[in-house]
Structure 1
């Protein structure tokens, strides 16, 4: 049986940290930024760790 291919959509969105956790970026920070306040846009720039349950 051949190896399973990696889902490229997931590979581009997530990266693995040194300890094995998954890192992701927030959605919603690329366009229509005039409606979002400064604090919200600043928080969208940071990355986040995927919860263990997911």
Structure 2
């Protein structure tokens, strides 16, 4: 049986932290920033952790394969 390959799209979008949680970037923070207020753009540039444990397990399987 061949080796499991990691999902390249998931590897580009998610990172695993040292404690094993999954870190993601927020959407809508890359372009058209001139009409979004400053508070919103600051918040959009912060990374966030995944909340749902079921999705967390699925993504871990994709990026750590």
Structure 2 length normalisation: TM-score? 0.75
Number of paired residues?
A: 54
Q: Would you identify which runs of 4 or more consecutive aligned residues in structure 1 move more than 6 Å?
A: none
Task: Note the aligned Cα RMSD (angstroms).
Answer: 1.0
Structure 1: runs of 5+ lacking an equivalent = none
Structure showing the higher strand proportion among its residues: 1
Structure showing the higher helix proportion among its residues: 2
1:7-44 Cα offsets, whole Å, 9 max, x none, are 10100111101110000111111111112111110001
Structure 2: runs of 5+ lacking an equivalent = 56-65
